[in-house]
A = this chain, B = another copy of it.
Amino acid sequence: DDGDSSLNTLTEEDIQKLISSSKEAMKYAYCEYSNFRVGAALLAEDGSIFTGCNIENVSYSLTTCAERTAIFKAVSEGHRKFKAIAISSEVKDSFTYPCGACRQVMIEFGQYDVYVSRPDSAWQHTTTQELIPHFFSKKALRSVQKAKIQN
């Protein structure tokens, strides 16, 4: 499932450690509306780990997911380069992949490993790029903006 763009650079031990952090993060999930807990753990380039959980809102649309919470925490502490993110949920018979909103936020900070897990600690590997093929890039946005300023 990895395609040829895959990195998968972590050791099994590091993967298990990251998944374990993502599982622990589930305990703080604020999921009053879905009753569904998700956790994430983000490994920054310097080795530090930032965890996140889903945080819901009565308006539904202002909910954030575990993955975005972890990324926002890391970026707000000065980190913008990441090695991997692990994701856990309560779904038993399948692996919980991120929603489209999180995929877009993940790819904003480049290509890195994604480990999606099950409660029994089984995991699958993918990458931020595989999750959002042909993603819209800053370069494309800026090409239009520059062309307009020049005219």
Interface size class of A (residues with CB under 8 A): 35 or more
* Residues of chain B with a CB closer than 8 A to A33's CB: 33-34, 60, 141
- Which interface residue of A34, A55, A61, A116 has the most chain B CB atoms within 10 A? A61
Contact for A144 among B28, B36, B95, B141, CB less than 8 A: B36
Given the interface contacts A28-B76, A34-B145, A76-B28, does A62 sit within 8 Å of B104 by beta carbon?
Answer: yes
CA distance A101 to B103 in the complex (A): 8
On whether the beta carbons of B62 and A72 are closer than 8 Å, the reply is no
Tell me the number of copies of this protein.
4
Cα A12 to Cα B122 in complex, Å, equals 45
Q: Determine the distance from Cα of A138 to Cα of B94 in the docked complex, in whole angstroms.
A: 12
Interface string of A45-67 (1 = CB under 8 A from B): 00000011101111111111100
Residues 104-124 of chain A, each 1 if its beta carbon lies under 8 Å from chain B, else 0:
110110000000100000000
Q: Which of B61, B91, B147 contacts A101 (CB 8 A)?
A: B61
Specify which chain B residues have a CB less than 8 angstroms from the CB of A53 in the assembled complex: 75-76
